[in-house]
């Protein structure tokens, strides 16, 4: 039962604006609400399909996946995103409108790796009412024996080779959902693959002549894929968990490393306050630089309507300046 599963995992998210009722009444309220959503969504989808006017509906969880899905789907597919581009992915809370969005999906595209804990139980309930599938990026790469997968960093979308593998899969998914558009999807997939390949080559060439190799991240491990692919060494203040607070001992270790190796740059995620980075910079004389992980975009990034690939190109320029690659 869809509402029962949702209430059981309230630790992961809360339905906003739900009136406090008894457990039995609350279950009935949410059950009826979700049932009406599914009936309405499925009926509308069936009518459009019968009329030949529907488009495949892809629902993604984060901005980079949305960009890749739109890059392949173009005008023939409807791509919607659950987590707003400006929202913190790790603290996201589902709303009733999000449930409706997920209920109407033909394909749900997620990262996996524990980044969307609310999706695991929810999708089991959704599948009882609709044959939507979920494509998990990390799981798919694992099934393809992708050798560069890491356990210490779920930000796999910062690996452009992995993105190319996902693009190929999205092409096949859309060709299955909309066979008449197969040639269109394949053409767009080839174009997007070429863009990712060109950006990957730029990173490899321009970061190959850097003086510095260490990327000191004054936060959680978010850029390991971006660093190791190009021969750089990521050193984070904390592990993959963004909630983890580094201890004084770890902070002193990083400060000592920066001093001993005369590292001139300290990085922080552009969506996070640079408190720890500022401390390290003050203690060592290193300069501060921000990198984008492609999620939780800043106001300036949203205002400038930056694409995922543009954000990554900006990262390249910042890395070149910070690491002495000019």
Instruction: State the average pLDDT over residues 9-24.
Output: 36
> Which of 72-81, 123-132, 210-219 has the least mean pLDDT?
123-132
As a whole number of angstroms, the distance between CA 291 and CA 174 comes to: 32
pLDDT value, residue 133: 86
pLDDT, tens digit (0-9, with 9 covering 90-100), for 64-97: 999 999 999 999 999 999 999 988 777 788 888 9
Largest CA distance in the chain: 69
The per-residue pLDDT for range 245-287, each reduced to its tens digit, is 888 999 999 999 999 999 999 999 998 889 999 999 999 999 9
pTM over 0.95: no
Average pLDDT, the chain: 84
Give the domains, in start order, of the chain with CATH numbers.
Answer: 2-203 (3.40.50.1980), 207-323 (3.40.50.1980)
Percent of the chain with pLDDT over 70: 80
Looking at residue 41, its pLDDT comes to 46
Reading the block at residue 210, the tokens are: 């850097």
Using the structure block, give the residue that is written with the tokens 């320029």.
Answer: 317
Please compute the mean of the pLDDT values over residues 285-295 and round it to a whole number.
Answer: 96
pLDDT value of residue 53? 57
For residues 235 and 253, give the distance between their C-alpha atoms in angstroms, rounded to a whole number. Answer: 11
Average pLDDT of the residues in 144-172 = 96
Beta bridge partners of 291: 269
Q: What are phi and psi of 23, to 5 degrees?
A: -55, -40
Residues 6 or more apart whose Cβ sits within 8 Å of residue 221: 152, 153, 234, 236, 238, 239, 240
Grouping H, G, I as helix, E, B as strand and the rest as coil, residue 150 is coil
pLDDT reported for residue 200: 98
Question: Higher-confidence residue: 31 or 84?
Answer: 84
Residue 21: the pLDDT is 33
């Amino acid at each position: 039962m869809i509402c029962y599963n949702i209430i059981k995992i309230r630790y992961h998210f809360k339905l906003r604006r739900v009136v406090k009722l008894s457990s039995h009444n609350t279950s009935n309220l949410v059950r009826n609400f979700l049932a009406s959503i599914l009936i309405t969504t499925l009926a509308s989808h069936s009518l459009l399909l019968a009329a030949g006017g529907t488009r495949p509906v892809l629902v993604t969880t984060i901005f980079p996946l949305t960009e890749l899905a739109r890059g392949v789907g173009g005008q023939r597919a409807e791509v919607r995103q659950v987590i707003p581009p400006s929202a913190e992915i790790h603290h996201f809370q589902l709303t009733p409108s999000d449930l409706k969005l997920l209920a109407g999906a033909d394909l749900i595209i997620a990262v996996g790796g524990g980044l969307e804990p609310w999706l695991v139980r929810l999708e089991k309930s959704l599948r009882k009412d609709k044959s939507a599938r979920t494509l998990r990026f990390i799981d798919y790469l694992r099934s393809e024996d992708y050798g560069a997968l890491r356990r210490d960093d779920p930000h796999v979308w910062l690996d452009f080779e992995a993105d190319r593998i996902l693009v190929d899969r999205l092409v096949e998914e859309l060709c299955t959902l909309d066979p008449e558009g197969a040639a269109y999807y394949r053409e767009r997939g080839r174009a997007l693959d070429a863009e990712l390949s060109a950006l990957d080559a730029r990173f490899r060439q321009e970061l190959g002549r850097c003086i510095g190799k260490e990327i000191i991240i004054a936060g959680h491990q978010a850029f390991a894929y971006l660093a190791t692919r190009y021969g750089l060494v990521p050193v984070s203040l904390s592990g993959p968990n963004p909630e983890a607070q580094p201890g004084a001992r770890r902070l002193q270790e990083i400060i000592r490393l920066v001093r001993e190796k005369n590292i001139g740059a300290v990085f922080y995620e552009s969506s996070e306050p640079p408190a720890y980075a500022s401390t390290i910079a003050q203690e060592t004389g290193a300069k501060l630089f921000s990198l984008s992980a492609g999620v939780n975009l800043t106001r300036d990034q949203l205002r400038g309507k930056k694409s995922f690939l543009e954000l990554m190109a900006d990262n390249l320029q910042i890395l070149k300046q910070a690491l002495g690659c000019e």
